[in-house]
Structure 1
Amino acid sequence: MKITVETTVAAPIHDVWRAYTTPEDIIQWNAASDDWHTTAATVDLRVGGAFSSRMEAKNGSMGFDFAGTYTEIVPQSLIAYAFGDRTGQVEFTDGPDGVRVRVTFDGEDQYPVEQQRQGWQAILDRFARHVEAMR
């Protein structure tokens, strides 16, 4: 089952794209809540290239790697990827109010759909705040 989250970022497309694809930026915005953080990120932004983000609870109680391989890249427009047996894509659409960022991904069986949607939406909202604060 596909799950979709989206936000509009009030910033130029090049700033939005850079913040989404640069490890230094990813470390700053990639968390669903204030008690989590990303401690490391790598990006090899090309078809067949790998990405990885190490996400950890700030209290050290748990952590995990979110990693995969890029399957399609259209600069400033689309990032498609595979992670495990699941896929996802990020669409960037420039508009009069900013850049709409839409993330669609295969949900997992372990957690309820609404919990997954809320977590990914929280990360995307944090991303928007990060990019807008850079301006």
Structure 2
Amino acid sequence: MKLTVETLVHAPIARVWSAYTTPADITKWNFAIDTWHCPRATVDLREGGAFSSRMEAKDGSFGFDFAGTYTKIVRHELIEYSFGDRSGAVEFLESANGVTVRSTFDAETEHSIEQQRDGWQTILNNFKKYVEATA
């Protein structure tokens, strides 16, 4: 099952793209709740390139790496990737009002659909807040 979350970011496409693909920016927004953080991220932004984001509780009690491989890159428009046996895509849709960032991904079976959608949407909301504050 594919899930989709999206947000409208009021910033230029160049800033939105950069914040989504630059490790120093990713560490500022890539977490779902305030008691977690993203202490490190790596990006090799090319087809076949790898990415990884470390997500962990600030108290160190739990953490995991979200990692995968880029399968298609269209600058300022699309990022497709695989992670494990799942895949995802991020679309960047520019309009007069800003950039709609739409993330579609394969659901997993460990967490409910609602938990997955809410978690990914919260991360995307953090992204919007971060970009708009730094644009």
TM-score w.r.t. length of structure 2:
0.99
Q: Supply the distance in 2 between the matched residues of 1:97 and 1:115 (Cα, whole angstroms).
A: 29
Deviations 1:56-78 (A, max 9, x none): 00111100000000000000000
Corresponding residue of 1:123:
123
* Structure 1 residue runs without a partner (length 5+): none
Q: Supply the distance in 2 between the matched residues of 1:109 and 1:22 (Cα, whole angstroms).
A: 30
Confirm whether residue 87 of structure 1 aligns to residue 66 of structure 2: no
Corresponding residue of 2:54:
54
Q: Supply the distance in 1 between the matched residues of 2:55 and 2:63 (Cα, whole angstroms).
A: 5
TM-score w.r.t. length of structure 1:
0.99
Corresponding residue of 2:75:
75
* Aligned amino acid, residue 57 of structure 1: A
Corresponding residue of 2:106:
106
Q: Quick one: percent identity of the two aligned structures? A: 64
* Aligned amino acid, residue 6 of structure 1: E
* Structure 2 residue runs without a partner (length 5+): none
The runs of at least 4 aligned residues of structure 1 exceeding 3 Å deviation read: none
Deviations 1:68-121 (A, max 9, x none): 000000000000000000000000000111100000000000000010000000
